[in-house]
Structure 1
């Protein structure tokens, strides 16, 4: 069980304020020598669970998607739209996030968000040949030791597909193992996040010692706005999908989905918004059997904003440390973000933030130390995540229903 997110946010604010007060007092070195080990230990506690948790959730998520695809034509149409929108989500962030950061640059004070000066060194971007060779790891354990997330992610994706081809008894044994492994990792992460206020306080205290509280606050506001903007693109795409493919008037769709959006904003939970989404589908006169099948499945396996906003975080940190965002680097991030989004199933924001963005950052050669601080403000971008996800779920339901034939409403009113 984790503490409320506001406690973690409180630890962030307290650390920044206290660090700003201590700055220039002459005791900075002594204070930093106490805070730094605490923050480092907490960060490592998060890092040690990334690979086993990603492996378990990825295997379970892909197995669930394959099982859904076998359910019939409606499921395959729905999964087709899920694929299209997830690819669009990642591409949109890869294109627009760098442009946004060029238009509204990160301040120099933002460099203090890094855990140490060594992380400021830009990492070498591999060539195309090295990239292709790295897709398959000759030694899985060596890849795990080096946190080579791209070959690990691809391996567990292939493993999940292979498990679904095994006889029922054998496949179920392996799925139960990965389910148990994931649950155990979630318990450990729960313990680590219970200490989040202390860990974030220690990290934020060190940040304020290096840059001052004002600079850190300004950086976090800039981060929240730019990352949330990528979720806004997905939100607009949901309206576009409903209008162009679902053939629903924009005003009519906006009115129908508004109650579900209100629940999404207030709860920050797609699962809690499911009854309201079903009501929105009824208002849009979508087939009841389509809505009853697509919306619960979408809540379980579809996170439209995950590639866009997770990529945005990795791009933000990459820009922060001076890593060159080549097409190959961005393509790597998109590939991992797409696969990882399948495993981000109904987890609290603080947990999904770490396991979803960590592998993307590692695959792109981006340091993950800043994530330990950014998780403290995740509750704010998470509002946009849930809002756009819920809206896209309804839009995908409309597109899937339209693919099944006419809904009985020939004239779509505005």
Structure 2
């Protein structure tokens, strides 16, 4: 009999954690607060171990990918046309998804009570939702005056813009320097992937603890909210895949 895949184990951990947390929430078990606090602390450590790889991994992948893509486009031919076609389809899929998702959520909204409980668990105040910044401030945030500060703050949008510009600049260097930088960043992304694999070995347990925390704070409503999210995302992914 073949062992369950990592994806199956993570999904089982998610369902088991939500169910266990919801049961704790429903029966108001003694020591629930201490148990949930411990689960949140340990699960948070696992999540931080996974998150610590995101910025160097994204940076390295974008730099190497942009440098190689620009080189392929510069050479023209089938590779360049295929890359441009892929970029166009990706942009179309993102645009359609951004437009259709709000319409789908309006036609089929998430369970209100569960969403409010989840928001309260995350922020402590269901009415404390950040205001949308002005357009000038929103546009200005895409260009980081200090890329290192953007990385430290986790400002992914501005960091991605810097990555793309840096990768394009790398593609314009002479061959020796370009190949050296691409090799270095390729090694960085390979090392980050090794760390990710190490962390994902513990994923079923980490996901179980985080899901238990959510379930204990929101009850069984979190299960319905998760199902709603999965259906919405699956529909958008199927639509994007159909465009290809």
CA distance in 2, matches of 1:118, 1:30: 18
CA distance in 2, matches of 1:228, 1:119: 30
Structure-2 residue corresponding to 1:15: 17
CA distance in 1, matches of 2:38, 2:87: 48
Cα deviation for residue 54 of structure 1 reads 0.5
What residue ranges of structure 1 are gaps of 5+ in the alignment?
Answer: 239-391, 393-414
TM-score normalised by the chain length of structure 1: 0.53
Structure-2 residue corresponding to 1:384: none
Matched, 1:190 2:197: yes
Structure-1 residue corresponding to 2:129: 122
Match of 2:177 among 164, 170, 180: 170
Q: Secondary structure at the match of 2:80?
A: helix
Structure-1 residue corresponding to 2:7: 5
Q: Secondary structure at the match of 2:39?
A: helix
Match of 1:61 among 62, 65, 68: 65
Structure-2 residue corresponding to 1:224: 230
Q: Kindly tell me: are residues 9 and 235 of structure 1, through their superposed partners in 2, closer, same or farther at Cα, counting changes over 3 Å?
A: closer
CA distance in 1, matches of 2:141, 2:50: 25
Matched, 1:209 2:216: yes
Deviations 1:351-383 (A, max 9, x none): xxxxxxxxxxxxxxxxxxxxxxxxxxxxxxxxx
Q: Which has the higher contact order (CA 8 A, sep 6+)?
A: 2
Matched, 1:97 2:104: no
Match of 1:134 among 141, 148, 164: 141
TM-score normalised by the chain length of structure 2: 0.88
CA distance in 2, matches of 1:9, 1:207: 15
**Considering only aligned residues, what root-mean-square deviation do their CA atoms show, in Å?**
2.0
Q: Kindly tell me: are residues 113 and 8 of structure 1, through their superposed partners in 2, closer, same or farther at Cα, counting changes over 3 Å?
A: farther
CA distance in 1, matches of 2:136, 2:158: 15
CA distance in 2, matches of 1:177, 1:226: 39
Matched, 1:160 2:162: no
CA distance in 1, matches of 2:162, 2:187: 19
Which structure's residues are more often helix, by fraction?
2
CA distance in 1, matches of 2:75, 2:117: 51
Q: Kindly tell me: are residues 119 and 154 of structure 1, through their superposed partners in 2, closer, same or farther at Cα, counting changes over 3 Å?
A: farther
Query: Where do residues 222-261 of structure 1 align in structure 2 (5 Å cutoff)?
Result: 222-236=228-242, 238=243
Deviations 1:202-229 (A, max 9, x none): 11111121222x3222222211111111
For the 8 Å contact 1:164–1:171, the answer to whether it is kept is yes
For the 8 Å contact 1:62–1:157, the answer to whether it is kept is yes
Deviations 1:284-330 (A, max 9, x none): xxxxxxxxxxxxxxxxxxxxxxxxxxxxxxxxxxxxxxxxxxxxxxx
CA distance in 2, matches of 1:105, 1:75: 42
Q: Secondary structure at the match of 2:208?
A: helix
For the 8 Å contact 1:112–1:207, the answer to whether it is kept is no
Cα deviation for residue 11 of structure 1 reads 1.3
Cα deviation for residue 19 of structure 1 reads 1.7
Structure-1 residue corresponding to 2:51: 47
Deviations 1:129-156 (A, max 9, x none): 2223223222221111111222211111
What residue ranges of structure 2 are gaps of 5+ in the alignment?
Answer: none
For the 8 Å contact 2:21–2:211, the answer to whether it is kept is yes
Structure-2 residue corresponding to 1:85: 89
CA distance in 1, matches of 2:75, 2:68: 11
CA distance in 2, matches of 1:184, 1:141: 21
CA distance in 1, matches of 2:124, 2:183: 41
